[in-house]
């Protein structure tokens, strides 16, 4: 193909085509024309392959990074370091977090130390949402850590545990109990029903566990990129948490909760895309949904049934399955949790996973350096 034909096939200018050549994106053959001029020609197969690559959807395709933290596939398998998510839910969040971090649960103290607790219970500027409290607590933890620049694995793991413990105290004002138990007590409406409180705690624990990591998400890539340039572990967490704050990740459960409440009130199926349905990786059911809805049913069978009914109707009309945001919405409705509860749970839960990915990335140095394709 001539240069003009190749540029037309790719939908680019000639200058862009030659930039591809200089970057090694595509090869050319140079010959001499009848008047002694240089003539560039391109193999048709190479041009068509590049055209297909440029038109291919990028979500979930690149980059490819080796990782042992989480294993998932489109068919619906999800495991943390080889342990299925359902088995991890039986372990509980704290043990699963230690497993993901590669540490013994005997080495982790999920209760904030006295000094950390006192500071965590201090006033957070303004009137922040729950997830902002987590990010503020991480920033404050960085400021008080005299060894914050230490990148040794032991210190990084300690940072992750401390960030979860201190954030939980900052959110709840409570120092004792598991993360899920403290959240359940802080969010429980008055008067407190002990049996219901225990059920909500178990459901929250399942949610925290199921959300501890999810392979190479946008926030994970952000955290890995920060680790690659040698950012300290606190800043790695903050980078990941900032990326996570978007409406397409931790904040997605808010819209899913509104959609579920609207369904309960009207029984009208929303137009596509339905919040809480569909996934970039799973073509079938999201395995986290079943893990969480089993616990939600113990809290409120009606809420679980409503979520199931909506899932059936959406599958029938739009051919998509519920994702974990729909399950968080069901938990929020079932337990009458704050509107941002799903976002808070997501944000807290993912801290160990972010650090686990950072621990894998630190030894690689600066390698996540994509190139622009004009």
Looking at the fold, whether 202 and 335 belong to one and the same domain comes out as: yes
Q: Report pTM.
A: 0.81
Within a domain: residue 64? no
Looking at the fold, whether 312 and 263 belong to one and the same domain comes out as: yes
Tally of domains in the chain:
2
Within a domain: residue 7? yes
Looking at the fold, whether 122 and 211 belong to one and the same domain comes out as: yes
CA distance 299 to 333: 10
Looking at the fold, whether 49 and 95 belong to one and the same domain comes out as: no
Within a domain: residue 84? yes
CATH number at residue 136: 1.10.580.10
Within a domain: residue 65? no
Within a domain: residue 359? yes
Looking at the fold, whether 147 and 99 belong to one and the same domain comes out as: yes
Alpha carbon 197 to chain centroid distance? Answer: 27
Looking at the fold, whether 289 and 219 belong to one and the same domain comes out as: yes
Looking at the fold, whether 200 and 331 belong to one and the same domain comes out as: yes
The boundaries of the domain holding residue 312 are 74-374
Looking at the fold, whether 20 and 126 belong to one and the same domain comes out as: no
Within a domain: residue 161? yes
Within a domain: residue 60? no
Structure tokens at 21: 């050549």
Looking at the fold, whether 115 and 240 belong to one and the same domain comes out as: yes
Enumerate the H helices of the chain as residue ranges: 3-10, 14-23, 44-55, 85-91, 93-101, 114-120, 130-144, 153-172, 179-187, 194-210, 218-228, 233-244, 252-266, 287-299, 301-318, 324-335, 341-361
pLDDT, position 45: 82
Within a domain: residue 331? yes
Q: What is the mean pLDDT of each run of 10 residues along the chain (374 residues)?
A: 86 84 85 80 85 58 76 91 97 97 82 56 66 94 95 97 94 93 93 92 98 96 96 98 90 94 94 92 91 96 96 93 97 96 97 98 86 65
Looking at the fold, whether 185 and 249 belong to one and the same domain comes out as: yes
Looking at the fold, whether 43 and 113 belong to one and the same domain comes out as: no
Looking at the fold, whether 20 and 165 belong to one and the same domain comes out as: no
């Amino acid at each position: 193909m001539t240069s003009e034909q190749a540029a037309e096939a790719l939908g680019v200018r000639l200058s862009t085509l030659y930039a591809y050549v200089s970057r090694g994106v595509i090869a050319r053959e140079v010959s001499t024309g009848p008047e002694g001029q240089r003539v560039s020609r391109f193999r048709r197969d190479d041009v068509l392959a590049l055209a297909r690559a440029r038109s291919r959807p990028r979500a979930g395709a690149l980059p490819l990074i080796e990782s042992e933290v989480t294993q998932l596939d489109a068919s619906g398998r999800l495991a943390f370091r080889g342990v299925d998510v359902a088995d991890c839910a039986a372990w509980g969040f704290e043990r699963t977090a230690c497993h993901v971090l590669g540490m013994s649960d005997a080495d982790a103290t999920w209760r904030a130390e006295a000094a950390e607790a006192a500071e965590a219970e201090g006033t957070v500027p303004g009137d922040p949402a729950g997830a902002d409290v987590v990010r503020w607590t991480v920033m404050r933890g960085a400021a008080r850590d005299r060894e914050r620049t230490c990148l040794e694995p032991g210190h990084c793991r300690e940072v992750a545990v401390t960030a979860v413990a201190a954030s939980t105290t900052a959110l709840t004002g409570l120092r004792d109990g598991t993360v899920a138990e403290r959240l359940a007590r802080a969010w429980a409406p008055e008067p407190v029903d002990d049996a219901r409180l225990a059920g909500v705690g178990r459901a929250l624990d399942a949610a925290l566990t199921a959300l501890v990591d999810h392979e190479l998400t946008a926030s994970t890539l952000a955290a890995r990129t920060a680790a690659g340039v040698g950012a300290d572990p606190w800043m790695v967490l903050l980078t990941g948490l900032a990326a996570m704050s978007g409406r397409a990740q931790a904040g997605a459960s808010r819209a899913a909760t509104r959609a579920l409440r609207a369904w309960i009130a009207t029984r009208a199926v929303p137009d596509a895309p339905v919040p809480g349905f569909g996934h970039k990786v799973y073509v079938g059911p999201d395995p986290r949904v079943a893990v969480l809805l089993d616990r939600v049913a113990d809290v409120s069978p009606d809420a679980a049934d409503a979520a199931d009914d909506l899932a059936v109707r959406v599958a029938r009309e739009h051919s998509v399955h519920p994702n974990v945001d729909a399950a968080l919405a069901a938990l929020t409705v079932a337990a009458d949790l704050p509107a941002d509860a799903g976002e808070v749970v997501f944000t807290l839960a993912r801290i160990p996973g972010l650090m686990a990915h950072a621990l894998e990335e630190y030894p690689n140095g600066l390698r996540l350096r994509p190139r622009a394709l004009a």
